[in-house]
Chains A and B, each alone.
Chain A
Amino acid sequence: MKQAITFSVESHRFLGPDGQPEGDLPPLAEDKDALHALYRNMVLTRLYDERAIALQRTGQIGTFASSLGQEAIGAGVGHAMRPEDIIIPSFRENGALLFRRFRIRDLLLYWGGDERGMANPELGDDFPICVPISTHTTQAAGVAFAVKYRKQPRVVVCLLGDGGTSKGDFYEAINLAGIWHLPLVFVINNNQWAISVPRAIQTQSETLAQKAIAAGIPGLQIDGNDALAVRHYVAEAIETARNGGGPTLIEALSYRLCHHTTADDATRYRSDEELQAHWKLEPVARLKRFMIGRDMWSEAQESELIRQCKEEIEQEVRHYLDSEPPKPTSMFDSLYAELPDELRAQRQSLVGKESNND
């Protein structure tokens, strides 16, 4: 017998749950500004998520998906990207979006039921939040093709969840990325759950990273609660792609410490013991311990950061709450480049109507 192929999957992390280094650290570990930027984004994201949930509970936005416990993934991805790169997000990577040009007021508008949340022209080519799972993965391949076609030194980063890797879209997208050698990095937030469906019911595959191997592209696993690992390996994949090295698939292991969304009750399907066990692995405390251990952070800086973040969030919330209600006719105005004649009468019936606020 001849072995047609054998494969292995690397798994990486720099910091253990207690914030202690495990083996050699990358230069990033010495870069105080970078660590502060990562940490700030994670704290901001956590406070934003908390505030958004409060807004939902008081009826001021609709259903909301928090990223509690997964902040290192958004932060690492967002920080690794250059402004000219393009993000194709799912709906959970709040921190990554905040690192881009999405403002909290935009995100609140979106979750507050208003298309204008994804309309800010300063978002450039970044894609809007994608709700139908994995449907954005093939689009990411198309965007990456366009970038490559125009010979631009840009990279596309597509974020999805563990549940999303079960869809045909995902396989079709990584398959194409391989064949076309696209400047595209897929980052899977493997938070162990897809609403109530645990990772074990998504696939018999031992890792999600190994799905890359069938597509002929590199796949690796990282500890998604280690911001250093996320930042380092995502940046490496992005720069590989930028230099013509093709796509990479990264599985970032994390855990969803929150309910799926504000419309979900996770106590129906998972135990408190499991949840508490994962709280010990969470990413914000991990990076903080590391920085404090190296004299790069203090409790005084911590309280100042929290104060600043809260102030920024409140300002953004105020912007959101003060935003003009959308015009009812606006549902017609961006449907086509030019409104077809047959829709004029329908639109006319809404002229002069006010937006209701429910």
Chain B
Amino acid sequence: MTDITLVEAVNLALMREMERDPEMVVLGQDIGINGGVFRATVGLLEKFGSERVLDTPLAENMIAGAAVGMAAQGLHPVAEIQFMGFIYPTIDQMVSHASRMRNRTRGRITCPMVLRAPYGGGIHAPEHHSESTEAMFAHIPGLRVVIPSSPTRAYGLLLAAIRNPDPVVFLEPKRIYRLMKQAVEDNGEEFPLDTCFVLRPGSDITLVSWGAMLHETQQAAEQLAGEGIDAEVIDLATIKPIDMQTILESVGRTGRCVIVQEAARTCSVSAEIAARLAEEGLMSLFAPIRRVTGYDTVMPMFRLEGHYMPDTARIVQAVKQTMEFA
């Protein structure tokens, strides 16, 4: 067992599952000989050949549509979109077909596909390479949206996503693709979907986040611990459907909640969590729910992205304001 990065864990999961499942194929731009622009698919072509590792022409709508067709036949396509900024042409397929195929045929035809894409800011990338628009997919009935935040969870959750009988949008926080290394056992074991992970138990306040922001959220929790505030940190992991049970249980104990996300604020995943806490957990709250989010602005180009993205200081401040309230 060696220590690997998140993007290496993605690669390991793809390798492992392709070996196990002859019905699995991968497709996308530059995923073959180049191994993907982030190297997530490196080595797959050599190992599994061009029949299963499919370099496609440059057409995202087609990549998603072809994946829907393959999945309808019972293959398990894993399609890579190079950056989330170029995922929008797939929305037609994901909304009108992938998410609906099982329902509109009452189970006669299904869509066991995965749409993978790196997402999020913080790597000083060109325009259109830094947005976090996961809520768009989370709004769509019939889809699953999964976001890993560490190498181990990337490995286990991607395996689960590929084996899931329904379409999964798997968004990879590229800022932390190579930020940390973890020992990942390549045992082919999946992590559960539709389940939050409690990364740090705590009794004073619940911090909910996902993806790269968990890095800052955990840093904030450490800093707060030094100041006598014991924060529980929850990794949402599956953005849709949301495991509210774990969050409600946590907030039931702490009475306080701060939600941290990179995405813009309005109609976002944090808004949904806050709404459900208000609906189902209001009586356990000592203080208003607070959200630390990106602004409702266009994601700025990289000279300003540091101002846009929540940082540890903003999270710490939100927690302190919440604690001061009650």
Contact = CB atoms under 8 A, between A and B. Distances in A.
Nearest to A130: B97
Contact of A144 (B69, B77, B109, B165): B69
Interface string B49-81: 001000011010110111111111111010000
Contacts of B74: 146
Interface string A334-352: 1111001111000000000
Given A336-B166, A342-B241, A120 B66 contact: no
Contacts of A143: 69-70, 72-73
A357 B81 CA distance: 43
Contact of B57 (A88, A123, A150, A175): A175
The bracket for how many chain B residues form the interface is: 35 or more
Interface stretch (A45-53, A72-80, A132-140): A132-140
B62 A337 contact: no
A128 B68 CA distance: 13
B61 A335 contact: no
Given A139-B65, A172-B59, A119 B241 contact: no
B93 A138 contact: yes
Nearest to A118: B105
Contacts of A125: 72-73, 109
A150 to B, nearest CB: 8
Contacts of B144: 336
Given A118-B105, A128-B105, A172-B59, A141 B66 contact: yes
Contacts of B92: 132, 135, 169
B141 A335 contact: yes
Given A142-B70, A337-B165, A135 B96 contact: yes
Nearest to A110: B104
A135 B106 contact: no
A141 B65 contact: yes
B244 interface: yes
B59 to A, nearest CB: 4
A304 interface: no
Interface in A48-75: none
Contacts of B73: 125, 142-143, 146-147, 150
A342 B93 contact: no
The bracket for how many chain A residues form the interface is: 35 or more
A337 B69 contact: no
B317 interface: no
Contacts of A337: 102, 110, 164-166
Given A119-B108, A176-B57, A341-B194, A149 B25 contact: yes
A116 B108 CA distance: 10
B25 A115 contact: no
Interface string B157-195: 000000011100000000000000000000000000010
A175 B144 CA distance: 30
Contact of A169 (B56, B62, B72, B241): B62
B161 to A, nearest CB: 13
B321 interface: no
A118 B65 contact: no
Contacts of B203: none
B103 A335 contact: yes
Given A169-B61, A175-B59, A336-B102, A119 B69 contact: no
Nearest to B99: A335
Contacts of A142: 65-73, 77
B72 A139 contact: yes
B92 to A, nearest CB: 6
Contacts of B68: 138-139, 142
A176 B66 contact: yes
Interface string B26-70: 000000000000000000000000010000110101101111111
| Residue from B68, B164, B244 with most neighbouring chain A CB atoms (10 Å) | B68
Nearest to B164: A337
A354 B105 CA distance: 21
Interface in A145-182: 145-147, 149-150, 168-169, 172-173, 175-176, 179
Contacts of A336: 102, 142, 144, 166
B106 A115 contact: yes
A175 B58 CA distance: 10
Nearest to A330: B106
A342 B242 contact: yes
Contacts of A121: 108
The 3 A-B residue pairs with the shortest CB-CB distance in the complex, in nearest-first order: A142-B69, A138-B65, A146-B73
28 contacts: A115-B105, A119-B106, A123-B108, A125-B73, A135-B93, A137-B65, A138-B66, A139-B66, A141-B62, A142-B68, A142-B69, A145-B66, A145-B69, A146-B72, A146-B73, A150-B73, A173-B65, A176-B59, A176-B66, A334-B102, A334-B107, A335-B102, A336-B166, A340-B194, A341-B194, A342-B241, A342-B243, A343-B241
Given A176-B57, A179-B57, 4 more contacts: A125-B109, A145-B75, A168-B89, A173-B62
